[in-house]
Amino acid sequence: MIKSHGAQANSVLAANTIAFTACFAVWVMFSIIGIPIKELLELSETQFGLLVATPILTGSLFRLPVGMLTDKIGGRVVYLVLMLAMIIPLWFIGNATEYWQFLVLGLFVGIAGASFSVGIAYTAKWFDKDHQGFAMGIFGAGNAGAALTKFIAPSLVIAYGWQAVPKIYAVAMVIVIIGYWMFTYEDPAHHTAKNVSMREQLKALNDPKLWKYMQYYSLVFGGFVALSLWMTKYYINEYGFDLQTAALLAAIFVLPSGVIRALGGWFSDKYGAYKVTWWVMWISLVSLFFMSYPQTAMIIETTHGPEKFDLSLNVWVFTAFLFILGIAWGFGKASVFKFLSDEYPDNIGVVSGIVGLAGGMGGFLLPIMFGALIDYTHVNSVIFMLLYGATAVSLIWMHFTFGKEQKAKNIEQAVQTVNE
């Protein structure tokens, strides 16, 4: 792992990452069990979008308050309480039969998503500035919990029925909690906001830079969560795969995007968050352009009669672009938090909660928008058109805001040179 920071720091990092991986697997569980539930309850695309997105809502809304609590009382206890709180509603999802019951229980289980704000702040405080990006990247690789669900849940659904999945997950979470408590530690010196009021903590929202990072994260993380929830069903509807094959193909996006985050943190430490984020946006824009193209066939009248030209994006080319997009977003998730650790070292819990909230809200709203757009247009690839537009906005915003800042720095340096 990371050298010269002590056994306790590395132990905390490992335990935090494992706990976050488990929480993330729970958070996106409906991406798999939601498919048989959709068939059982005969849901529309929009209703399915709401079903899979409901846990994302509470996970997002709780990110800010738990980030504040982490700064005040420390991450270890906050993380423990958070994981304990989700176990009972998680178990009872297996007994639900009505749509409203799934939505209500999903809201309670969704607090699993708030584990990110606790863990990222708790982890960052154990490492110095030169290694924070890498450490937070390792922790953020817990996003791969979404891939864990893609690998495990379909087999459980086929073998035991979808009702068994939440119950098995609940038992697994108990084991994770026990291991977490055994291998984590608390340092009172990390309670940087102990004597700071909530109003003072929220003053961070007055910083326009923070809103910029919120927008970036709503794309790279919110888009990641939304596609993690949606891609299994996309492969089923668009290419006709069965549940297990579709989930494995979706994991080609989810797994690398989660695991590569550690490398993204290292690149952000070495080359700077700005350069990494800039390239992330451009790569995303190009990939989404091609993925947005709907399955199309063109019939042309020729001298030999009508000729059909298939302009469809075959599954392997599509999956290659999806893989590239996942890698780019994995780097982007790390680079945004490198910005935060550099600029807000004293209240990282608060700002990570705010930015995490923005990212989570993207993950909540996008699946609902996906469903509504598909119900309206009946074109599956419309979801990538939406993401393409959001990426274009991010890139334009980044160009003008950072360009303005760089211009101001150049002027300041020129004035200093003249004065000297």
Residue 352 contacts residue 337 (beta carbons within 8 Å): yes
Q: Which two structure tokens, joined as six digits, stand for 164?
A: 């068994």
C-beta separation of 346 from 279 below 8 A? no
Cβ–Cβ under 8 Å, residues 288 and 384: yes
* Widest distance between CA atoms in the chain: 83
Domain chopping of the chain, boundaries: 7-419
Can you point out the beta strands (E) in 272-337?
297-302, 305-310
Quick one: 234 exposed, middle or buried, by C-beta within 10 A (0-12, 13-18, 19+)?
buried
Identify which of 39, 42, 118 has the alpha carbon closest to the alpha carbon of residue 76: 118
pTM: predicted TM-score of the whole model, two decimal places: 0.81
Residues in Cβ contact with 391 at an 8 Å cutoff, skipping those fewer than 6 apart: 219, 281, 284, 285, 288
Domain 7-419: CATH superfamily is MFS general substrate transporter like domains (1.20.1250.20)
Tell me which residue has tokens 């790390």: 334
CB 359 within 8 A of CB 218: yes
Q: Tell me which residue has tokens 């996008």.
A: 366
Query: d(Cα 216, Cα 211) in Å, to the nearest integer?
Result: 9
Distances (CA, A) of 350 to 43, 196, 198, 344, 385: 38, 11, 9, 9, 33
Among positive and negative, which fits the CA dihedral 17, 178, 364, 199?
A: negative
Q: Do 126 and 139 contact (CB within 8 A), yes or no? A: no
* Residues 225 and 360: beta-carbon distance below 8 Å: yes
Element (H, E) at 288: helix 273-291
Q: pLDDT truncated to tens, each residue of the chain (420 aa)? A: 444 457 888 898 999 999 999 999 999 999 999 999 999 999 999 999 999 999 999 988 888 788 778 877 888 999 999 999 999 999 999 999 999 999 999 999 999 988 988 888 888 888 877 777 778 778 878 888 888 999 999 999 999 999 999 999 999 999 999 999 998 887 766 555 555 555 666 676 777 778 888 888 999 989 998 999 999 999 999 999 999 999 999 999 988 887 787 788 788 888 888 888 899 999 999 999 999 988 887 888 887 888 887 777 889 999 999 999 999 998 998 888 788 878 877 667 678 778 878 888 899 999 999 999 999 999 999 999 999 999 998 888 887 877 555 555 555 555 565 565
- The Cα 45–Cα 19 span in angstroms is 32
